[in-house]
Amino acid sequence: MLLFLLIVTAFAIAYTKDLFAVVMLAGIYGLLSASFFVALDAVDVAFTEAAVGAGISPLLMLATLGLTGRFQTQTKSRFYLLGFALVVLVGALLMIGTADMPAFGSVDAPAQQHVAPRYIEKSYEEIAIPNVVTSVLASYRGFDTLGEVAVIFTAGLGVLSLLSISRKEEEKEGGVASMYEHTILRIVSKILIPAMLIFALYVQFHGEYGPGGGFQAGVIFAAAIILYSILFGLDVAKRVVNESVLQILAALGLLLYGSVGVVTMLSGKNFLDYNALAEDPGTGQHIGIIVIELGVGITVAAVMILIFFAFSRRMDREGGA
């Protein structure tokens, strides 16, 4: 059923010309895939998908729409048929790929037999936290996660360098449209925003026990700030979090993560071997994971807010919104 809804939404996205509706549908798609992941018992993935697919990315897409306008211009492409043929070809290859796939949910599947059992059986003993997903992401494959944080950091820098305007032009910036007049929105959000911030912190520090962690927390935190700046205007928001501070924060988050690795290296163990952080391996792992998750959260939140600021500043300059 969920899968069917997913497919319908995907088709709707491809056919709709109203970009505003497309963004909303994309949000729905995100939410549906999140539910789908829950049905597959992958709560951590679902949480991330909900925060990113249904939360922050529609928000950023809306900000983009403010720049580009709501409707798609008609373009006739000569490559329409070629594109269609390629899509069919890739789809067929994917189908072929599934032919010899191990049966869904099968216990004998190689993915369940080789590496994964150790994560499930030994991770509590080795890392001493109950959430296996966090153990894999933050410790067994912690270096991948460091790389992912760098991907976010790079994306932020990329958006900045594309959308930035020089300091001189920045001074000319006019007044910022805010939605301050909407009383209901204002009151509701005033109640909502502190709750969101606290929830973000909860997700941040509770990742070892339940689903969650730095990525999701960072995104939720950023969403709260973005909501605030939409309602009360960019200028007010910028008084709270300045843009150059954000850049430094984004860099510091990544550095914080990396420095854990450097510290473990200096104390004689391998890069990111948290056992070096304390006498007792369990404690060491715990400290390591908390610190790197904090790094993740800081970078993710800072980059998301930066991207939004870059978009909306551009919007002010173009006089749109």
Partner 1 sequence: MLAHLPILQVILPFLAAPICLILRKPKLAWLFALIVSAAALAVSGLLLQQVYAGGVISYELGGWAPPWGIEYRIDLLNAYVLLVVSSLATIVLLGAHTSVQKEIEAHKQTWFYSLYLLCFAGLLGIVATGDAFNVFVFLEISSLSTYALIALGRDRRALWAAYQYLIMGTIGATFILIGIGFLYMMTGTLNMNDLAMRIDAVESTTTVLAAFGFIVVGTSLKLALFPLHLWLPNAYTYAPSMVTAFIAATATKVAVYVLIRFLFTIFGESYSFGRHPLAEILIPLAIIGLLSASTVSISQPLIKRMLAYSSVAQIGYIVLGIGMGSALGLTASLLHVFNHAMMKGGLFLALAAVTYRMGGSEIGHMRGLARTMPLTFWAFVLGGLSLIGVPLTVGFVSKWYLILAAIELGWWPIVIVVLVGSLLAVLYVGRVVETGWFGEPEKPGRNEAPPSLLIPLWILIAANFYFGIDTRLTIGVAENAAAWLMGGGSGL
CB of 119 to partner 1, least distance (A): 7
CB atoms under 10 Å from CB of 151, counted, come to 9
CB closer to partner 1 out of 141 and 317: 141
Q: How far is the CB of 232 from partner 1 (least distance, A)?
A: 27
- Nearer to partner 1 among residue 65 and residue 231 (C-beta): 65
Question: For tokens 């700046």, what's the residue?
Answer: 229
CA atoms within 13 A on the CB side of 185: 11
Give the integer Cα–Cα distance in Å for 248 and 290.
Answer: 21
State the minimum distance, in angstroms, from the CB of residue 25 to partner 1. Answer: 21
List of residues 6+ apart from 201 with CB closer than 8 A: 217, 221
99 vs 191 by CB, closer to partner 1: 99
| Cα 81 from Cα 160, distance rounded (Å) | 36
Beta carbon nearer to partner 1, 73 or 183: 73
Q: Which residues bind partner 1 (CB under 8 A)?
A: 93-94, 96-102, 109-116, 118-119, 139-144, 147-148, 150-151, 153-155, 157-158, 160-162, 164, 166-167, 247-248, 250-252, 254-255, 258-259, 261-262, 265, 269-275
Nearer CB in complex with partner 1: 162/184: 162
| Rounded least distance, CB 160 to partner 1, Å | 6
Nearer to partner 1 by Cβ, of 232 and 311: the residue is: 311
CB of 129 to partner 1, least distance (A): 15
Q: Closest distance between partner 1 and the C-beta of residue 7, in Å?
A: 19
Which C-beta is closer to partner 1: that of 66 or that of 253? 253
Q: Closest approach of Cβ 124 to partner 1, in Å?
A: 15
